[in-house]
């Protein structure tokens, strides 16, 4: 699964769940496992002009699937199967906090790809995948681990696009991951159950919920993480053009749930359906 679409329509309406939970970044882990972190919002409402959601002062934290990806990378390092874990996040100054959390969980160093202002608002999976692909090549990563999707936009595209741009195999929706020599065995969660595949390295893997339980970032580790390095990079330095091909027309809250109705007989039901123009 995971076909990557390279052609996207010029404009699209986005309706997002106003009570959604936001996170930052799907971590990419390079293997030197690198992972990309996304920072997302919590408890949001739509702006009065319906252009987007209010993000001012709203708490942002690491995307839960990204936490799982970070955890998996750190676990691989603890098993001594990989040498170095690099955490990557794209965004404004605040993503440094999210990278620090990843460093506190066990990553070795971080890369902050600076994207601010308008560019950040329109930053989507395609641009992020381009950045990831460029960084993966530059860092000579063996494995890129991301969260399967971000819970603010639910796109589920970045991992797949990154693999396509790099022309690497992908193991998406991973619920189990093991390294076997120079291949990776991935057990994937699919509609029909579980699918086990073996892919060559270097590869891209996206983490699903049951892959692991992320550890807490404890205070002593947060303090130690302050000493770990976070490098600053701009997309232009990587030769990536981050202009968006998408235009958000409108953002609306989900429609209020209408009360249901109880009917006594089947005839009543048919009658009501006819009234509503459905039969």
Tell whether omega for the bond before 199 is within 30 degrees of 0, i.e. cis.
no
Residues 6+ apart with CB under 8 A from 137: 166
Choose the binding region for other proteins from 23-31, 43-51, 62-70, 242-250 (rule: CB under 8 A).
Answer: 43-51
Q: Taking CB under 8 A as the rule, does residue 79 contact other proteins?
A: no
Contact 145, 171 (CB under 8 A): no
d(CA 104, CA 114): 21
Q: How far is CA 230 from CA 70, 112, 242, 247, in A?
A: 16, 7, 22, 32
Q: Taking CB under 8 A as the rule, does residue 219 contact other proteins?
A: yes
Least Å from the CB of residue 156 to other proteins: 24
Choose the binding region for other proteins from 30-38, 145-153, 220-228, 266-274 (rule: CB under 8 A).
Answer: 220-228
* Residues within window 194-213 making contact with other proteins, judged by CB under 8 A: 213
Q: Name the token pair of 252.
A: 């609306």
Among positions 138, 183, 210, 215, the unique one binding other proteins when judged by CB under 8 A: 215
DSSP strands (E only) in 100-169: 109-114, 143-147
Nearer to other proteins, 213 or 258 (CB): 213
Q: Taking CB under 8 A as the rule, does residue 61 contact other proteins?
A: yes
Q: Taking CB under 8 A as the rule, does residue 59 contact other proteins?
A: yes
Q: Taking CB under 8 A as the rule, does residue 43 contact other proteins?
A: yes
Q: Name the token pair of 126.
A: 């395609």
Nearer to other proteins, 64 or 125 (CB): 64
Counted residue by residue, the chain has a size of 279
- Site residues for other proteins per CB under 8 A: 19, 42-43, 45, 48, 57-59, 61, 213-216, 218-220, 222-223
């Amino acid at each position: 699964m995971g076909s990557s679409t390279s052609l996207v329509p010029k404009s699209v309406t986005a309706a997002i769940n106003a009570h959604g939970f936001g996170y930052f970044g799907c971590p990419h882990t390079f293997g030197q496992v690198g992972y990309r972190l996304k920072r997302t919002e919590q408890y949001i409402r739509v702006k009065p002009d319906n252009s987007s959601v209010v993000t001012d002062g709203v708490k942002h934290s690491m995307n839960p699937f990204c936490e799982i990806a970070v955890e998996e990378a750190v676990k691989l390092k603890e098993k001594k199967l990989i040498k170095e874990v690099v955490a990557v996040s794209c965004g404004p100054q605040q993503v440094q906090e999210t990278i620090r959390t990843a460093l506190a969980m066990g990553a070795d160093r971080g890369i902050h790809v600076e994207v601010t202002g308008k560019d950040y608002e329109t930053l989507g999976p395609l641009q992020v995948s381009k950045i990831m692909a460029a960084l993966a090549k530059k860092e000579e990563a063996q494995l890129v681990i991301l969260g399967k999707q971000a819970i603010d936009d639910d796109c589920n595209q970045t991992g797949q696009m990154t693999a396509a741009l790099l022309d690497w195999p992908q193991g998406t929706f991973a619920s189990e991951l093991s390294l076997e020599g120079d291949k990776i065995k991935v057990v994937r969660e699919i509609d029909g159950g579980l699918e086990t595949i073996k892919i060559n390295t270097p590869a891209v893997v996206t983490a699903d919920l049951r892959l692991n339980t992320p550890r807490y970032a404890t205070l002593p580790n947060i303090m130690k993480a302050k000493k770990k390095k976070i490098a600053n990079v701009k997309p232009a330095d990587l030769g990536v053009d981050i202009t968006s091909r998408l235009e958000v027309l409108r953002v609306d809250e989900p429609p209020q749930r209408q009360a249901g109705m109880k009917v006594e007989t089947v005839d009543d039901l048919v009658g009501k359906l006819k009234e509503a123009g459905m039969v």
